[in-house]
Amino acid sequence: MAVIGIPREIAPGETRVAMIPALVASLVRDNHVVLVEKGAGERASFRDEDYAKAGANIAGTAAELYGKADIVLKVQPPRERLNGRLEAESIKENAAYIGFFPPLVQKEVTDVFLKRGITSFSMEYIPRITRAQSMDALSSMATVAGYKAVLLATEHLGKMFPLLMTAAGTVPPATVMVIGAGVAGLQAIATAKRLGAKVEAYDVRAAVKEQVKSLGAAFIEVDYRESAEAAGGYAREQSPEFIRKQQEALSARLPRTHVVVSTAQVFGKRAPVIITADMVKLMHPGSVIVDLAAEQGGNCELTEPGKTVVKHGVTIVGAVNLPAAIPTDASMMYAKNVLNLFKHLYPTADAVPDFSDEITKGACITHGGQIVHETVRGQMK
């Protein structure tokens, strides 16, 4: 039996919660004690009384929760200040942490985990294999972000998305270009199509062409052959010549594009700059760019993370943490991913993680005061 703690997220702008009442019962049935900090789910519309009805106990303060929890489930990494020190320092020694955690970026959290002997499992590092699909929080949150990105575009664009034939005349449809046809990009395509826009999409991976076309969008071809897919289905960095050809192909379309939703990222590295300042100038005043890669530096050269700016008459949205803008469904999806990972790690109340398992080994960053993830350990040197 373990005490599972679900704290209230204290990162600025974060509204999600790591576990929802409907899934608490599953943990309780496995003889775990679930401890939820007071108000943890209120910003996602989950009440304390709903957690209590599901069998959880309510902790009045974060200090109480962290003092008792053997396993902490979170959304944001424990990098914020809590009572004058890093949130990670409040986690019990030799406890476990499950949640988002970029160890190479937030080295101060990694150091705390090492010093306190905390076993950490990062949602970002879950292997992208078939067995782990139900735990893939990156894909779940990308789905939410892709959907919300298009809705943000509709708010800033001065025209409607669908074709309308009215007594006052015909309103042509908006033209939307989606850059990057991963999970977020495909969801953006589907959402823009549902709203009636004319959609075209581009991705360096030719393999996604059929997926793009299946959603009713046109695929933008670049006349240059270069392998673009890295291990795990991620896009890899491209050569300068490929980037030049790519920018030429996209530039030719920008003058007739009303909305660009950019989602291109390279795992663990800065997002590629695909839309230069000169390319922005090609777009009509009133056009919109929603940059989902803003937190990784942005696909647009003029993106300012977390801000909405107007450059050369074009509104550029530096989208940050869009899943927090739809916290109820985002929390539900994330909580299911976390629960599936938890049950894989701890199949019974007295089980311990099997570190020979591919999923466990791939997701675990620190254990026993050591960095056990081979790739992370190598890059820390």
Give how many domains the chain has, as a whole number: 2
Domain of 266 in residue numbering reads as 140-319
Task: Let me know if residue 256 belongs to a domain.
Answer: yes
Q: What is the pTM of this model?
A: 0.93
Residues 339 and 315 in one domain: no
Residues 276 and 165 in one domain: yes
SS3 54: coil
Task: Let me know if residue 130 belongs to a domain.
Answer: no
Provide the pairing of β-strand 119-122 with 364-367.
antiparallel
Task: Let me know if residue 133 belongs to a domain.
Answer: no
SS3 370: strand
Residues 287 and 357 in one domain: no
Domain boundary among 319, 345, 362: 319
Residues 258 and 305 in one domain: yes
pLDDT in tens, 177-211: 999 999 999 999 999 999 999 999 999 888 899 99
Residues 186 and 268 in one domain: yes
pLDDT tens, residue order, the chain (381 aa): 899 999 999 999 999 999 999 999 999 999 999 999 999 999 999 999 999 999 999 999 999 999 999 999 999 999 999 988 999 999 999 999 999 999 999 999 999 999 999 999 999 999 999 999 999 999 999 999 999 999 999 999 999 999 999 999 999 999 999 999 999 999 999 999 999 999 999 998 888 999 999 999 999 998 766 555 555 545 556 678 888 888 999 999 999 999 999 999 988 788 999 999 999 999 999 999 999 999 999 999 999 999 999 999 999 999 999 999 999 999 999 999 999 999 999 998 888 999 999 999 999 999 999 999 999 999 886
pLDDT of residue 228: 54
pLDDT of residue 18: 98
pLDDT of residue 45: 98
pLDDT of residue 225: 62
Q: In what order do the strands lie in the sheet with 57-59?
A: 57-59, 33-37, 3-6, 71-73, 96-99, 119-122, 364-367, 370-371
How many other C-beta atoms can be found within 10 angstroms of the C-beta atom of residue 92?
A: 18
Residues 153 and 273 in one domain: yes
Domain boundary among 300, 319, 338: 319
Task: Let me know if residue 135 belongs to a domain.
Answer: no
Task: Let me know if residue 69 belongs to a domain.
Answer: yes
* Residues annotated as catalytic (active site), given as ranges: 128, 133, 136, 139, 234
Residues 113 and 227 in one domain: no
Task: Let me know if residue 131 belongs to a domain.
Answer: no
pLDDT of residue 122: 98
Q: How far is CA 303 from the centre of its chain?
A: 18
Task: Let me know if residue 132 belongs to a domain.
Answer: no
Tell me, what CATH number does 268's domain have? Answer: 3.40.50.720
Residues 205 and 298 in one domain: yes
Task: Let me know if residue 314 belongs to a domain.
Answer: yes
pLDDT of residue 75: 98
Dump the DSSP string for 183-225.
Answer: HHHHHHHHHHHHTT-EEEEE-S-GGGHHHHHHTTPEEPP-S--
Domain boundary among 319, 342, 366: 319
